[in-house]
Amino acid sequence: MSDFSSVAIQEFMQRELEFVSEATSATEVACRMAEKRIGCLVVQGEGSDADQQPIVGLVSETDLIRKVMAADQADATIPVAQFMSSPLRTIASHRPMLDASHAMEQHGIRHLCVAEGEEIVGLISIRDLVRFFVYAESGPIRELDNVYRPLSVLMQRSIETIDGAVPVQQAAQQMAGKKVGALLVQQDGELKGIVTERDLVQKVLAEEEDANQLTVKAVMNHPLIDIDINRTIHDASDLMADKWIRHLPVTENRKIVGILSVRDLIRMIALRDRPRFLRQK
C-alpha cells in the first residue's frame, strides 16, 4: 500500500490549461467548454502583461448551472468574475493523489489547481483520480475486485427524476437545490433519458437557448446508457470514458436500481484513508 499511497499528483495532473479572463461572459465560457470538450476553465485576472495575469479562480459546468442558469433572473452575459469559484483552491504537485481525493471530497469539487511554490503548473480533476485509482495494481479499488457486485456498494440508490415536459430552467434549479449533476427523465411514467449539467451547458447556454421555453425532453440523452449491477468497477469506468459521460444508471433485471457517478467510483478511497489524512494534517 505504501507505493500506492505515495504516488504524486504531478504524475497524473494535466499540464495544458485552458484560460479565460474574468471579464468573459457566461455564454462565452459555455461555448469554450463545448468547443474544447472540457468541464473546467482557469480564470485569469487583469494584468498589464498578458503573460503575467494572475490566476484568480476556476469556473466549472457546476458553477454555470448553479450560479447562472438556476438563478431566478439568469443572465448569460454576466462576467465569469461574478460566478467563478474563488478564492482559488490549490494543492502542491508533490502531494499524494490520496490527498487530492480528500480535498475534492471535503469541498465537493471536481478540480484542483496544482502548484509548485507560488506558480500554478497544472490541474488535477476527478477523472485523473479515477484514471489512477481504478487502474492501479493495488489499493482499495483493486480490493473490491473480490467483492460481490461492487457497483452496488458504490452507487447511489436515491435517484433524482424530472418530467421531460418541464422547462430546462426547472432542471437547473433542481440540480442546484439537490446538489446533483444529473437527473433521470420521466415520460409516461417511465425513465426514458438523462439530463446532465453538461447537456444544459452545451445545448442551452452555449446555444443561447431560452431556458424557460426549451423542455428537458429536447436536451436529454436517450436512449439511456446503463450498466448491469453485476459488472465490474473497471467496466463502469471504461464505459464512462468511452461515452464521455459522468453518470451511469445501474440496472438489475433490466430495472434501474441506482445511479453511479465518476465521484462515486473513488469516494470510498477518501473515506477509508481519512484516519491517515487527519493524522498528517
Question: In this predicted structure, what is the pLDDT of residue 2?
Answer: 43
Helix-strand-coil percent breakdown of the chain, rounded to 5? 40, 25, 30
CA 21 remoteness from chain centre: 22
Output the pLDDT for position 278.
47
List average pLDDT for each run of 10 residues in the chain, which is 281 residues long: 72 95 96 95 78 88 95 81 94 94 89 94 94 80 78 93 97 96 94 96 95 96 96 93 95 96 84 54 55
Ordered structural domains, the chain, with CATH: 2-133 (3.10.580.10), 144-266 (3.10.580.10)
Q: What is the pLDDT of residue 171?
A: 97
Cα 171 to chain centroid, rounded: 17
Q: For residue 118, what are the CA distances in angstroms to 54, 91, 104, 113, 185?
A: 11, 11, 21, 12, 45
pLDDT of residue 3: 57
